[in-house]
Homo-oligomer: A and B are copies of this chain.
Amino acid sequence: MFKEKAVEALRNSGLKITKPRLWIVEYLDGNKNHPTAIDIFQEVRREDKDFSFATVYNTLDILVKEGIIKQIKTEEKSCRYDPNTGLHGHFYCKNCGKLFDVDLKQTNFLDETISFGKVEDYEIKFYGICNSCIN
């Protein structure tokens, strides 16, 4: 599903379906870990799949621009990537660094910003200490 949608989006924009791009898309499909570019680079390359750093960044940039994945900035240096583009927020644990998905039921606060301009995207993040780190 995700992979098919990604491939179609790339194709529609006249972008090539290269091996590295497919590998990265496959890796991200259903991934709930919010990996960094470096995570992706390292983990995908484990499996006899060879490509360079530049390609990871290039591919991730393209996927973000195509709206296939989202980029998330946390308190850490490297940003993370999320194949889930639906409405949700994130909870970042300052202690263990884990990033949790947060459901957001009421979405009406989006309307509040209309006076500034055209909203294309939004990002809602919570910072704190997660339950397992509290205990």
Contacts and interface: CB of A to CB of B under 8 A. Distances in A.
Interface of A: 73, 89, 91, 93-94, 100, 102-106, 108-110, 112-113, 115-131, 133-134
Given A104-B112, A106-B106, A129 B125 contact: no
- Number of chain copies forming the complex: 2
B104 A91 contact: no
A121 B117 contact: no
Given A122-B124, A123-B127, A127-B122, A112 B117 contact: no
Given A123-B125, A124-B124, A125-B123, A117 B131 contact: yes
Contacts of A116: 91, 100, 102, 126, 128, 130-131
A133 B117 contact: yes
Nearest to A132: B117
A113 B94 CA distance: 15
Given A123-B127, A124-B124, A125-B122, A134 B112 contact: no
